[in-house]
């Protein structure tokens, strides 16, 4: 035990131990037989502390070997640490495990180990040294999250580290943490905030110390992104000068200099010779004099390769890519990589993408496609480590260029070879690029219903998370303690969800075309899109498979202007100049549908992408000839039935989803204090009541949050006609306005049962924030993510006169029409054909707002009960009349 206590004291000089350890292993030959005997003796005598430290101190040839040993130790421990020495030893093992994994380049596993170390230290604060936690847990853990791209979580960790440093009154530690905060803020695009962190750190740092040089390099990075290139060059050159003056025995300063050279190369990329000079200075730095991290070394090789690729010199890029691959994938041949060889690492992602670019430059597109697949597998592994949704959104947005490059390559292969396999590859890339977060939400709903302790804990934490979010909203977000608690709950949730990931991953990443086409009826087709920079890719499927793939140039800005001018800004533009609208609608039709017109009387499921998600396709016109009579316009809705879905996977999930089978609940709030009256709500209810059998009707003060939750969990159809607010309205949290309180969309996650269909007749319920690669983050999106198979929603402000009649017609038709999208289409056509509706009100602004999303077979509404009573009365009246007349005749004859 004495030896263990001495070792614990040595942890105060942890930096020395960690930096010299790998200098020793090259001449220390490990004796595995001796170690096994020692470990068995310690286990037999129940000496857990000695057993742990024997494995920490055991020399290994490589960081990867040491990491494997420590992971095995963590897996084979025979009891829970109990004494102070054992608790400290276990913490040391987790820290060493995180460090060795980091050195070996496995950022994901390293993050997990550091996260476990942080949790262990948090549970045993009486034993844990705060300075050790700050330097050897929080600092590398926050930096790991930055490397993974989960910047919000990194920010959270660094802010905790800053509090630790302040409590310790350690100015240098505070300055170092400000450097980490600056780096994270810059990665989040908060460049001015990054400069603020740099200035705060500079106030505390000794101007001669290496940490000041590091702060200058962070400042250079922020200035470069702000396109302040002169300031960036000045800062990075100052940084290099200070770091070059550091004593030779400071490996951390040498590492920062190594990174500063690379950053200087990035800043001077517009001058390739200067960039190469700085990169080569980094290459020339002796490995033994700096902290050697495979990831940073590999990143340098990847940077040089990318520079030569941009210069169209693939042969010069190849040696650097090979060097990068040897570090990240030791013992692997890049030509024969499998998905199982891949792990979450940004440098690996960049290397694979760059190597695919070289294959393309060398005229080997098929080889490039194989690497693109692995590239996207790496992306998914990275994204799975993120805690915050905003970090996931950023990662998905960043992947768009890579997906467009891969899709273009697959399309060119199809055009060149006409081999159908490339159509499948193109479709798979398109599918994998779309609505990945919505798909993950759906999977969570499906797989988090288990009854074991982990699933129960997840549900409990989710309840706590919803509670903290609601409390934060009610306090205006001013309670910092509440925010901290919410962040910690998010942390715990992410940790637990990783433990059940294999179950959720069973669904697989590759969508089966056969499984999709089996769900399509004859005459039902899917068109899925990918919106590139200036190009639109299209794939159409029917129940036999892929019908065609296409690529066309398109003006996405014209779509954005069309939607905003004629719909979002109100009806005036359309009513004042109907001919201008007609011409604009026809131009967009020609761009999108002219090459492949919709088949007459068929039903289409459109899966738009990018700004195309905002376009009301039904409102386009199919002929150039303008008619003064609007009802005669050849609207696309007259040609075919159109519904929408986010992606093939999400649509398939909606088609197979379980939901409430019967019942109707309607919520109608026409007046709410502080909000404008909704003139059409009362009329909407009046017109709907006769066509719906029974149901629960909640009007004004009856429409409470409690009745709403009950309706969602017990009714097949939930109709909502009240105010609703989305993120586009610059509010803290999207919500539906009910009589007693808001219903926040994150509260949907806690529901165990779901309606088959939700009808959101409120204004702009289908509108929202457009997230690149994800689609519109609307109220409809939230209901689908929570498990609702079908949603009817409005993309702009619904007209008070139109909505009640459209809703009446829709529900009336839903009692006889199995395809709910056809019912909504026919309701709109009835409006266009109604002689009592003025011609001006037949403009699309008035009828095209509502659209159908999801499973079109989700619900067939039972006809109103009173109808068969009336039929019975009509049949019985003549019968009774006949009986009465017969009796009267018999009496007269008597």
| CB 778 within 8 Å of CB 438 | no
Name the residue among 791, 858, 856, 431 with its Cα closest to residue 602: 856
- For residues 98, 104, 107 and 113, what is the CA-based torsion angle, rounded to 10 degrees? -20
Q: Spell out the residues 6+ positions from residue 236 whose beta carbon is closer than 8 angstroms to its own.
A: 216, 217, 220, 260, 263, 264, 267
| Higher pLDDT, residue 423 or 677 | 423
Digit-coded pLDDT (tens) for 764-775: 666 677 888 888
Percentage of the chain modeled with pLDDT above 90: 59
Task: Please give the CATH number for the structural domain made up of 659-864.
Answer: 3.40.50.1460
Structure tokens, 502 = 């294999």
Q: Does residue 59 register a pLDDT over 70?
A: yes
Q: How far apart are CA 843 and CA 401, in angstroms?
A: 38
Separation CA 653–CA 511 (nearest Å): 11
The token duo for 197 is 């962190």
- Find the length of the chain: 894
DSSP strands (E only) in 197-291: none
Q: How many CB atoms lie within 10 A of CB 769?
A: 16
Strand 603-607 relative to strand 524-531, pairing: parallel
Digit-coded pLDDT (tens) for 499-541: 666 444 444 567 789 999 999 999 999 999 999 999 999 999 9
Q: Treating both helix axes as pointing N-terminal to C-terminal, what angle do 346-361 and 400-417 enclose, rounded to 10 degrees?
A: 30
- Gap between the Cα atoms of 742 and 734, Å rounded: 9
pTM given for the model: 0.81
- Looking at residue 450, its pLDDT comes to 61
pLDDT(847) > 90? yes
**According to the 3-state scheme, what is the secondary structure of 460-476?**
HHHHHHHHHHHHHHHCC
Q: What is the pLDDT of residues 678-734, one digit of tens each?
A: 888 999 999 999 999 889 999 999 999 999 999 999 999 999 998 888 765 556 678
| Cα gap 62→245, rounded to integer Å | 31
State how far the Cα of 403 lies from the Cα of 170, in Å rounded to an integer.
Answer: 46
CA atoms of 491 and 107, how far apart (whole Å): 17
Please give the full DSSP string across 124-167, using - where no structure is assigned: TTTT--HHHHIIIIIHHHHHHHHHHT-HHHHHHHHHHHHHHHHH
DSSP assignment string, 437-456: HHHHHHHHHHHS---SHHHH
Q: Tell me the β-bridge partners of 721.
A: 668
Taking only the tens place, the pLDDT of each residue in 39-55 is: 999 999 999 999 999 99
- Structure token pair of residue 550: 């296409």
């Amino acid at each position: 035990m004495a030896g263990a206590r001495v070792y614990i004291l040595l942890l105060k000089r942890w930096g020395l131990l960690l930096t010299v350890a790998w200098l020793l292993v090259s001449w220390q030959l490990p004796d595995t037989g001796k170690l096994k005997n020692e470990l068995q003796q310690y286990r037999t005598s129940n000496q857990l502390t000695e057993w742990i430290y024997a494995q920490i101190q055991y020399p290994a040839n490589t960081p990867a070997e040491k990491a494997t040993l420590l992971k095995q130790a963590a897996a084979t421990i025979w009891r829970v640490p109990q004494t102070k020495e054992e608790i400290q030893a276990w913490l040391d093992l987790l820290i060493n495990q995180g460090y060795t994994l980091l050195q070996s380049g496995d950022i994901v596993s390293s993050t997990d180990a550091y996260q476990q170390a942080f949790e262990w230290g948090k549970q045993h604060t009486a034993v844990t040294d705060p300075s050790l936690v700050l330097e050897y847990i929080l600092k590398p853990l926050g930096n790991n999250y930055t490397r993974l791209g989960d910047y919000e979580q990194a920010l959270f960790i660094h802010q905790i580290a800053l509090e630790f440093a302040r409590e310790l009154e350690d100015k240098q530690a505070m300055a170092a943490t400000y450097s980490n905060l600056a780096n994270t803020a810059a990665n989040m695009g908060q460049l001015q905030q990054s400069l603020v962190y740099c200035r705060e750190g500079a106030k505390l740092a000794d101007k001669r110390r290496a940490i000041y040089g590091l702060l200058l390099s962070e400042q250079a990075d922020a200035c470069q992104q702000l396109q302040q290139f002169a300031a960036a060059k000045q800062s990075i050159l100052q940084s290099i000068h200070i770091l070059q003056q550091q004593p030779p025995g400071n490996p951390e300063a040498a590492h920062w200099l190594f990174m500063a050279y690379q950053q200087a190369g990035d800043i001077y990329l517009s001058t390739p010779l200067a960039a190469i000079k700085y990169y080569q200075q980094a290459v020339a730095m002796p490995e033994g004099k700096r902290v050697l991290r495979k990831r940073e070394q590999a990143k340098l090789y990847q940077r040089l390769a990318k520079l030569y690729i941009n210069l169209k010199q693939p042969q010069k890029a190849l040696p650097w890519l090979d060097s990068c691959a040897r570090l990240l994938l030791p013992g692997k041949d890049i030509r024969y990589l499998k998905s199982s060889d891949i792990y979450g690492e940004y440098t690996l992602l960049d290397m694979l993408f760059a190597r695919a670019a070289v294959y393309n430059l060398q005229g080997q597109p098929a080889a490039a496609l194989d690497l693109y697949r692995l590239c996207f597998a790496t992306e998914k592994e990275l994204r799975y480590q993120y805690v915050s949704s905003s970090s996931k959104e950023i990662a998905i947005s960043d992947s768009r260029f890579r997906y467009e490059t891969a899709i273009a390559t697959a399309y060119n292969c199809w055009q060149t070879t006409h081999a159908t396999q490339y159509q499948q590859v193109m479709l798979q890339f398109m599918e994998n690029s779309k609505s990945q977060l919505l798909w993950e939400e759906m999977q969570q709903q499906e797989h988090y219903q288990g009854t074991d302790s982990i699933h129960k804990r997840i549900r409990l934490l989710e309840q706590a998370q919803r509670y903290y979010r609601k409390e934060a909203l009610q306090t205006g977000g001013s309670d910092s303690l509440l925010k901290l608690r919410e962040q910690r709950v998010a942390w715990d949730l992410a940790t637990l969800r990783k433990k059940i990931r294999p179950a959720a991953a069973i669904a697989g990443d590759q969508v089966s075309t056969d499984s999709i086409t089996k769900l399509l009826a004859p005459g039902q087709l899917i068109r899925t899109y990918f919106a590139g920079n200036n190009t639109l890719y299209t794939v159409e499927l029917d129940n036999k498979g892929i019908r065609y793939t296409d690529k066309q140039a398109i003006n996405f800005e014209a779509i954005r202007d069309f939607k905003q001018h004629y719909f979002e800004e109100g009806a005036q533009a359309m009513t004042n100049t109907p001919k201008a609208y007609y011409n604009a609608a026809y131009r967009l039709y020609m761009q999108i549908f002219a090459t492949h017109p919709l088949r007459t009387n068929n039903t289409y499921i459109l899966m738009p992408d990018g700004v195309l998600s905002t376009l009301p396709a039904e409102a386009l016109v199919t002929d150039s000839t303008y008619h003064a009579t609007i009802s005669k316009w050849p609207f696309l809705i007259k040609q075919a039935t159109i519904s929408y879905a986010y992606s093939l996977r999400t649509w398939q999930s909606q088609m197979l989803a379980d939901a409430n089978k019967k019942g109707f609940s309607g919520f109608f709030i026409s007046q709410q204090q502080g909000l404008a009256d909704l003139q059409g709500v009362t009329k909407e209810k009046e017109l709907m009541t006769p066509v719906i059998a029974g149901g629960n009707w909640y009007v004004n003060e009856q429409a409470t949050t409690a009745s709403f939750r009950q309706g969602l969990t017990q009714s097949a159809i939930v109709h909502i006609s009240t105010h609703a607010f989305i993120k586009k309205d610059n509010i803290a949290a999207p919500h539906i306005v009910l009589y007693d309180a808001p219903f926040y969309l994150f509260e949907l996650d806690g529901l165990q049962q779901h309606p088959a269909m939700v009808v959101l007749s409120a204004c702009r319920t289908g509108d929202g924030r457009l997230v690149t690669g994800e689609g519109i983050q609307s109220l409809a999106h939230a209901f689908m993510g929570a498990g609702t198979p079908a949603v009817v929603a409005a993309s702009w402000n619904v007209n008070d006169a139109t909505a009640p009649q459209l809703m009446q017609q829709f529900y009336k038709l839903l009692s006889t029409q199995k395809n709910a999208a056809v019912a909504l289409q026919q309701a709109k056509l009835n409006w266009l054909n109604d002689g009592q509706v003025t011609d001006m009100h037949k403009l699309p602004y008035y009828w095209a707002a509502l659209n159908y999303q999801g499973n079109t077979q989700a619900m067939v509404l039972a006809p109103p009960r009173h109808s068969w009573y009336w039929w019975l009365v009509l049949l019985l009246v003549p019968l009774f009349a006949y009986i009465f007349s017969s009796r009267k005749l018999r009496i007269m004859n008597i």
